[in-house]
Structure 1
Amino acid sequence: MSTPLPSHRRWWVLAVVSLTQLVVVLDGTIVNIALPQAQESLGLTDSQRQWVITAYALAFGALLLLGGRVADYWGRKRTFIVGMVGFALASAYGGFAQTGVDLIVARGLQGAFAALLAPAALALLTVTFPTGKDRNIAFAVFGTVAGAGASVGLVLGGVLTEFLDWRWCLLVNVVFVAVGLVGAFAVLAESRADGDNRYDILGAVTVTLGLGSLVYGFSLAETGWGSPLTITFLAGGVALLVLFVWIETRTAQPLLPLRIVTNRMRGGAFLIQAIAGSVMIGSTLYLTFHLQIVMQMSALQAGLASLPLPVATMVVAPLAVRLLPRIGPRPLMTVGPLIVAGSLWYLSFITVTGSYVVQVLPALIVMGAGMALVFVPLQNVALSGVAPDDAGAASAVANSAMQIGGSIGLSIFTAVYVVALGSHTAAEPTALAGAYSATFIAAAIGMLVAAVLAVTMIREPASELLPLPEDEPQPAHAG
């Protein structure tokens, strides 16, 4: 059930949940720039430094589907608020960390509460803007924030690290959450799935362990794809996810109704979202390395140098909003990845002596414009036709596609980087530039795949996907 909101309050809902999305997405990258200082301050080993990133992705990716169903059953506003408060407390814990273990635990807690927060926020947006032109605008804004968040994290991380301290890359979340909580209590209305809802405990355990094993396996793959431990975790993750799908076909109230992902258009959108997420996270990370290590920029300079990407996304997004109802999602979601692929190909020509203005800036502007064409329709298409009772679960899949895609993509890009670097060392700028170039080419190939998926899987118009009837037959309960 849900409480209808006056139309003028819906835009305040959009502002609140978009702020939340910004916090969740930028927190995946804001710490990256601060890691060198954090490592020196806390005496982190290289292994612990890696876990500062992995712990967030692991907890976030593993718990997202469960978080989505908690939002559906317990209440989306209530879940949103609990997730916000928990995220703030975890951020404060990390900001005041005294040891490497403290920081890693804090990042894991951030990911766990983000797994409650993110699907609840997107589900609130879905039920607040069910149809029409306003829905297109709302999802365009939300998608733009999601697309630009990784780059915003790099910029903000550079500013905070340069002028304050690395700890503020975590403590700043408390400020964001305080603003978000005020907005949540003021404008959000409670909504939840109707009926006698019961949690799919077996499904929750299976998918959490499966996604966790997969994310951890890919994090291990960054240092060796052929190691027995990597293979064990990746194979175990796949096996558990196959078991999860089987369980969901035999459960009356599944954690993930398979109708959400088996629809061709939504399935294509989820796949494109995974690729786009991996490219945004991976390409911005390796570009930051090039700016700081090869071009010798400070953290602040590297952050500001990344700024044209989100700015271009925000400038082009309104144009994409106007085009979406006229030409449909498929042209945008096809042309956008092709533009991004072209920008990444251009970026692959970086050299040690090349200037930022010639070799980097044009690529960032074009990439930002292309990403706007991708992210504006993406969230809308991914959630089109989803029944209100499934809003949290579908939102969790959308977020999970971005998070798991980012983890997998980053592992693949790292493997490409290692192979391209070969026997050279990180002290050789020419070799580094060549290795970074290889990762940009790999990312460009990924975006070409996304364009093919858009052509073959995205139907139009999006309005063809209508909510499933509430009396749709449900599978019999196991046993």
Structure 2
Amino acid sequence: MKHWWALVALGTAQFLMVLDTSVMNVSISQLVEDFDTEVTAIQAVITLYALVMAAFMIVGGRLGDILGRRRMFLVGLVVYGAGSALTAVAPTLWVLTLGWSVIEGLGAAMVLPAMAALVAESYRGRDRAVAYAVIGGLAGAGIAVGPMLGGWMTTYLTWRLVFAGEVVVVLAVLLCRRVIPTPAPAGPRPRLDGVGAALSAVGLALGVLGVLQSSTWGWVQPRNPPFTVFGFAPTLFVVGAGVAVLAVFRHWERRREDRGTDPLVHLSLLRRPVLRAGLMTLLSQNLILLGLFFAIPLYLQVVQGFDAFQTGLRLLPVSATMLVTSLCASPLGQVMGPRRVVRLALAILAAAVVWLLATIDPVIDDAQFAGAMALLGVGIGLLASQLGNIVQSGVGEEERSEAGGLQFTAQNLGSALGTALIGSILVGALAHAFTTQVADEPRLSAETREQVGVRLEAGITFVSTDQVRSAGERAGLPPSEVKAITDSYASAQLDGLKAAILATGGVALVSFLMTSHLPTARSGRPPEPGSGAAPGGANGSTDRA
């Protein structure tokens, strides 16, 4: 039993990294009120947190190789605790962004790759599979506890207490640091590729920034951008600039490998089909989950008018089934093969999205909604039970930190894109539906249609119908026209939400294309990662370069 204490300390870190994201998601309405801002601003804060982690996760993994993984894990916890403390007392949105999105994000980028490598180094064979299932389960527990804890705290006390509590938990883990093993050096310590680190961070940041701002700037036709490019919205140009910088990063890394100097990441790892497929599926998993966890709380809080605690209660089915499934489904990989489990999970996710779409109505059907959310949790839990072990089984012992960095980069890039892309689709569909409905509304005069059109050109955000009604009354519109505008906006809200949720179902279906190289082994213990092959026979070959 003693050798599992390290897993308790390492898993606690995983729990914390997930907890406050789910707290933020159920507290969106309260954060908007506390900081006197808009939903899109909180969307940007949530996206930036995941983006900072994604941009610096590979750097964090490499620093673990250089400075020692245990040391990096502990230093990262200190940074994360400092960010939590600042977030707990944040007086303004900018301080919240600094404490949560930036400092906590950087701390997580130090902690998570080191945690993944330390788990892999501490356990072998079946114990390793169990360890990764526990890590996935604790991530599920963070998602399970987050909405309830955050909802209760936000509604009856304050969301700030959650972050103050995180500081206490971080201190407790630091006091128990002796249970965390100190791995023996696997070879000469590499050097940090500073140019590669800068290129990867800038490329990822530009790409996600463009997607995030698309709801404000527009994709092609400019909506309300700070500037235009040849008369077009800057969105695609910013995304394209990010892709170009990442192409330069790829060239730079290959050049360093060819010269025999230490790259930031060995791109040859991505030529291994099992690892590549696992990383892409991880990205899809988090894009779906975080996209839904951004859109659904808006439906519950803004459309249905629930407070944060009531929102947390309605998210409980997805959290509970995700936790139970991720903890119990690990043996399915040995019975069915990881590929079949992942494909089953994606099919379940698509079915859950269809069911969820049927529940998005002006008046919620709690039983139907709970069933759809529970099914969603089963799908995510099945993915979580397999993907961590798949990724780490595709690399050798000396590549643990690098693989951990890639693993959590994929996860957090998926999280950032989930919040940014799904939020963008939601707002874009809302704007399109509202514009169409106002244009076709016979109860509105031509002057009112023109006035609403001018407001829409300046940008639209996701607000309650009460706020729309109040805005119409302040503008001096007749009661019949205020009601017409309010009804049109309420209908557009549902259209926007359905478009966003439907997009996550599309991601689940497209993800089937990424599963062809996942392992197919149905029984027996997977070979140790250093043996030159990953589970799955020909399809599971690691294709070492």
TM over 0.5: yes
Q: Which runs of 5+ in 2 are unaligned?
A: 223-232, 435-461, 466-488, 533-543
Please, which of 77, 89, 94 is the counterpart of residue 82 of structure 2?
89
| Structure 1 equivalent of residue 253 of structure 2 | 248
* Pairing of 1:316-395 with structure 2 (within 5 A): 316-395=325-404
Structure-2 separation of matches of 1:314 and 1:57 = 21
Report the AA paired with residue 59 of structure 1: V
Asked if structure 2 preserves the Cα contact closer than 8 Å seen for 1:147 and 1:371, the reply is no
Q: 38-47 or 426-435, which moves further after superposition? A: 38-47
Within-5 A mapping of 1:295-306: 295-306=304-315
Alignment of 1:106-117 (within 5 A): 106-107=99-100, 108-117=102-111
Matched residue SS, 2:219: coil
Q: Measure the CA separation in 2 of the matches of 1:259 and 1:314.
A: 34
Q: Does structure 1 residue 431 correspond to structure 2 residue 492? A: yes
Query: Separation in 1 of the partners of 2:157 and 2:505?
Result: 36
- 1:58 touches 1:216 (CA, 8 Å); kept in 2? no
What is the 5 A alignment of 1:123-138?
Answer: 123-129=117-123, 131-138=124-131
The 1:314/1:98 distance shift into structure 2, 3 A limit, reads closer
**By how many angstroms is 1:32 displaced?**
2.9
Letter in 1 for 2:315: S
Q: Which residue of 1 aligns with 2:244?
A: 239
Matched, 1:451 2:512: yes
Match of 1:177 among 170, 183, 192: 170
Aligned partners of 1:31 and 1:170 also within 8 Å? no
Give the Cα–Cα distance (whole angstroms) in 2 for the partners of residues 287 and 124 of structure 1.
35
Partner AA of 1:55 in structure 2:
L
Could you say which residue in structure 2 is the equivalent of 1:194?
187
For residues 398-417 of structure 1, the C-alpha deviation after alignment (integer angstroms, 9 at most, x for no partner) is 11111111222333322332
Q: Is this contact kept in 1: 2:137–2:327, CA < 8 A?
A: no
Q: Number of residues paired by the alignment?
A: 462
Deviation (angstroms), 1:222:
3.4
> Tell me, what secondary structure is at the counterpart of 2:113?
helix
Three-state SS of the structure 2 residue aligned to 1:66 is helix
Between the aligned partners of 2:360 and 2:192, the Cα distance in structure 1 is 54
Residue correspondence of structure 1 range 19-418 to structure 2 within 5 A: 19-44=12-37, 48-107=41-100, 108-129=102-123, 131-147=124-140, 149-223=142-216, 224-226=218-220, 228-251=233-256, 252-418=261-427
CA contact (8 A) 2:70 2:182 kept: yes
Seen in structure 2, the aligned counterparts of structure 1 residues 47 and 389 have a Cα distance that, compared at 3 Å, is: same
Aligned equivalents of 1:16 and 1:267: distance in 2? Answer: 29
Contact 2:147 2:315 in 1 (8 A): yes
Q: Contact 1:33–1:154 (CA<8 Å) still a contact in 2? A: yes
Mapped to 2, the partners of 1:308 and 1:195 lie a distance apart of 48
Between the aligned partners of 2:188 and 2:347, the Cα distance in structure 1 is: 45
Give the partner amino acid of 1:101. Answer: W
Change (3 A) 1:318 1:406: closer
- How many percent of aligned residue pairs carry the same amino acid? 28
What letter is aligned with 1:415? S
SS at match of 1:352: coil
Q: Indicate if the aligned counterparts of 2:136 and 2:327 stay in contact, CA closer than 8 A.
A: no
Give, as a single letter, the amino acid of the residue that structure 2 aligns with 1:303.
Answer: G
| Structure 2 CA distance for aligned equivalents of residues 40 and 320 of structure 1 | 41
2:453 aligns to what? none
Look up the match of 2:459.
Answer: none
Structure 1 contact 386–468 (Cα < 8 Å) conserved = no
Residue type of the alignment partner of 1:463: P
Q: Specify the SS of the correspondent of 2:91.
A: coil
3-state DSSP class of the match of 2:21? coil
CA contact 2:20–2:146 (8 Å) conserved in 1: yes
CA distance in 2: counterparts of 1:377 and 1:46, whole angstroms: 34
What is the identity, as a one-letter code, of the residue corresponding to 2:111?
A: L
Asked whether the 8 Å contact 2:58–2:405 carries over to 1, the reply is: yes
Q: Write the distance in 2 (CA, Å) between the matches of 1:309 and 1:47.
A: 25
| Greater C-alpha Rg | 2
1:291-325 CA-to-partner distances (Å, cap 9, x unmatched) read 11222211101012101112112222344122222
Paired letter, 1:70: L
Runs of 4+ in 1 over 6 A off after TM superposition: none
Task: Provide the aligned C-alpha RMSD in A.
Answer: 2.4
Partner of 2:330, secondary structure, is helix
For 1:114, the aligned partner's letter is A
Alpha-carbon separation, structure 2, partners of 1:419 and 1:336: 29
Instruction: Give the distance between the partners of 1:375 and 1:14, measured in 2 at CA.
Output: 17
What amino acid is the match of 1:298?
Answer: D
Shift of residue 70 of structure 1?
Answer: 0.4
Paired with 1:11 and 1:429, the residues of 2 have a C-alpha distance of: 52
- Which residue does the alignment assign to 1:3? none
SS of 1:249's equivalent in the other structure is helix
Name the CA distance, whole Å, in 1 between partners of 2:31 and 2:362: 30
Q: Is the 8 A contact 1:277 1:402 kept in 2?
A: yes
TM-score of the superposed pair, with normalisation by structure 2: 0.79
Tell me the alpha carbon deviations over residues 329-379 of structure 1, each in whole angstroms, 9 at most, x when there is no partner.
111111011011101110001243544433210011111112221110111
For residues 219 and 162 of structure 2, what CA distance do their matches in structure 1 show? 32
TM-score, normalisation: structure 1: 0.90
The structural deviation recorded for 1:44 is 4.2
Q: CA deviation at 1:213?
A: 2.0
- Secondary structure of 2:99's counterpart equals helix
Letter of the 1:317 counterpart: S
2:65–2:189 contact (8 Å) kept in structure 1: no
Query: What are the superposed Cα offsets for residues 377-423 of structure 1, whole Å, 9 maximum, x if unpaired?
Result: 11110111312222111111111111111222333322332343224
Closer, same or farther: CA 335–54 of 1 in aligned 2, 3 Å: closer
Post-superposition offset of 1:67: 0.6
Residue 193 of structure 1 contacts residue 390 of structure 1 at CA under 8 Å; is this kept in 2? no
